[in-house]
Structure 1
Amino acid sequence: MGFVDEWRAWHASRERYAGAEYGPAALESTNWLITEPAAVDGVSGLWALTGDGGIRGTDLGATGSVVTLRGRETLRIGRRELRVFDRRGELALRVFNPRRLERERFSAIDAYPPREGWRISARFEATPGETVAIITIDGRTHETELAGRLHFTLDGAALALAVTRSEQGGLSAVFGDGTNGTETYRFRFLPIEEPAADGSAVIDFNRAYLPPCAFSDQFVCPLPPTGNRYSAPIRAGERAVVLGR
């Protein structure tokens, strides 16, 4: 499979994921709970933190049943699906609704045509012991370990891209550029291919993709860290969510 065909397959998989019945466009609410039971919009029962890493729902349905959700457990109530969201030990109850208007109207993800010129050579510099301040879209800040920086040149300017490593082991970045707010969403995510043993690497901006909060404002996405915002336009990758009527 050639470069363009591989990109098209990736883009098609992204659109399937985004428009899935319980995909990111279906996120209706993120509910930060306390130990005192409270109602959640659109869902029966009362919901509260258990105090030991779970979320308990009581007074569910006519029988008044009780359920506790932990980790990756889910619960369907009607068409809605409930999931536990764990943000660094702080729990919330997320409600996914396939009938959410934005999910029903989801049509496609607009993207720039793939260009091999946006596969840019870089040099990876590991940064053991260094941390970076991450601010989420709701204003919360935390420190996370920085995996390293990718040094590259764009339009003759020397730039660096700070990258972190996920729990699954892959490298990724959050970046902003001169297209944000006009041609593209306000920032984008980018997976990074593993650098070679000598530190040589490739940044493929064709694989820049929209963060979950582009599909629902109930996600709490990380914003680009200091240094990962560029004035130059990067016309590659995903641009915006396309909604039909």
Structure 2
Amino acid sequence: MGFRSDWHEWHAARERYAGAEYGPSALESTNWLISEPAAVDGIPGLWALAGDDGIRGTELGQAGSSVTLRGTQTLRLGRRELRVFDRNGAIALRVWNPARPQREWFTAIDAYAPDERWRLPATFEPTPGERILVTSVDGASRETDVAGRLHFTLAGAPHTLTVTRTGQGTLSAVFSDGTSGLETYRFRFLPIDEPAEDGTAVLDFTRAYLPPCAFSDQFVCPLPPPGNRYSTPIRAGERVVVLGG
């Protein structure tokens, strides 16, 4: 298939994911727990940290029944789904609700028309041993390994893009540009195809996509590192969430 048809398939899949019953728009709350049981809005029982990075719910209204969730285990209470969220050892209880208004009103992801000119050639420079401080939208910071930097030209000027590896081992970047907060969400994510052995790579900004926190403010997305904040507009990729209401 050609560039445009590939892009439209990708964009359609992104919209299906975003509007799914338990997709990102359904995240209702992220609740940081302590060892003392406490109530959580919207769900029955009392919830607290359990041993071994788990979460324990008690007094669930079924003859005093209780439950413990760990790892990828989930629990449905009515239509709400409960999941464990582990951020570097800090454990939270996340509540997903398909009836959340932002999910029910989700209509589309507005995006720029695909333009192959936004597939920019780049050169990858590995940076073994380098770490940077990454700050999340809630102010929490942590050191993260840097996989490398991509050198490219934008609007006639040299730029660099700092990239890291995801938990799945793929390259990814967080960036903002001259459209951020105006034409697009405040920052975006960019997947990076693995560079060739000689370091040549392609930055496909037409695949720039909205972070989960564009769909729910209960996500704790990483912000762009200082070197990935550009003043030049990058009019490619996803722009904003469209709600019907």
Q: What is residue 229 of structure 2 aligned with on the other side? A: 229
* Structure 1 residue 226, shift from structure 2 partner: 1.5
Identity %: 73
Give me the whole-angstrom Cα distance separating, in 2, the residues matched to 1:215 and 1:169.
25
Give me the whole-angstrom Cα distance separating, in 2, the residues matched to 1:123 and 1:185.
27
Q: Deviations over 1:134-193 (max 9, x none)?
A: 000000111010000000000111000000011211000000000011100000000001
Q: What is residue 150 of structure 1 aligned with on the other side? A: 150
* Structure 1 residue 62, shift from structure 2 partner: 2.9
Matched letter for residue 167 of structure 1: G
Give me the whole-angstrom Cα distance separating, in 1, the residues matched to 2:116 and 2:233.
16
Q: Is the 8 A contact 1:164 1:171 kept in 2?
A: yes
* Structure 1 residue 116, shift from structure 2 partner: 0.5
Q: Aligned-pair RMSD on alpha carbons?
A: 0.5
Q: What is residue 47 of structure 1 aligned with on the other side? A: 47
TM-score, reference length from structure 1:
0.99
Q: What is residue 26 of structure 1 aligned with on the other side? A: 26
Q: Secondary structure at the match of 1:17?
A: helix
> What are the within-5 Å matches in structure 2 for residues 203-222 of structure 1?
203-222=203-222
Q: Secondary structure at the match of 2:45?
A: strand
Matched letter for residue 191 of structure 1: P
Give me the whole-angstrom Cα distance separating, in 1, the residues matched to 2:130 and 2:176.
22
Q: What is residue 139 of structure 1 aligned with on the other side? A: 139
* Structure 1 residue 51, shift from structure 2 partner: 3.1
Q: Which runs of 4+ in 1 moved over 3 A?
A: none
* Structure 1 residue 61, shift from structure 2 partner: 2.1
Residue range with higher mean Cα deviation, 61-70 or 142-151: 61-70
Q: What is residue 180 of structure 1 aligned with on the other side? A: 180
* Structure 1 residue 73, shift from structure 2 partner: 0.5
Q: Secondary structure at the match of 2:16?
A: helix
Q: What is residue 241 of structure 1 aligned with on the other side? A: 241
Give me the whole-angstrom Cα distance separating, in 1, the residues matched to 2:220 and 2:143.
16
Give me the whole-angstrom Cα distance separating, in 2, the residues matched to 1:116 and 1:153.
15
TM-score, reference length from structure 2:
0.99
* Structure 1 residue 239, shift from structure 2 partner: 0.1
* Structure 1 residue 225, shift from structure 2 partner: 0.5
* Structure 1 residue 64, shift from structure 2 partner: 1.5
Give me the whole-angstrom Cα distance separating, in 1, the residues matched to 2:64 and 2:191.
46
* Structure 1 residue 52, shift from structure 2 partner: 2.2
Q: Secondary structure at the match of 1:38?
A: coil
Q: Secondary structure at the match of 1:113?
A: coil
Give me the whole-angstrom Cα distance separating, in 1, the residues matched to 2:124 and 2:147.
10
Q: What is residue 76 of structure 2 aligned with on the other side? A: 76
Q: Deviations over 1:172-217 (max 9, x none)?
A: 0000000011100000000001000000000000000000000000
What are structure 1's unaligned runs of at least 5 residues? none
Q: What is residue 163 of structure 1 aligned with on the other side? A: 163
Give me the whole-angstrom Cα distance separating, in 2, the residues matched to 1:211 and 1:141.
17
Q: Secondary structure at the match of 1:13?
A: helix
Q: Secondary structure at the match of 1:43?
A: coil
Q: Is the 8 A contact 1:35 1:51 kept in 2?
A: no
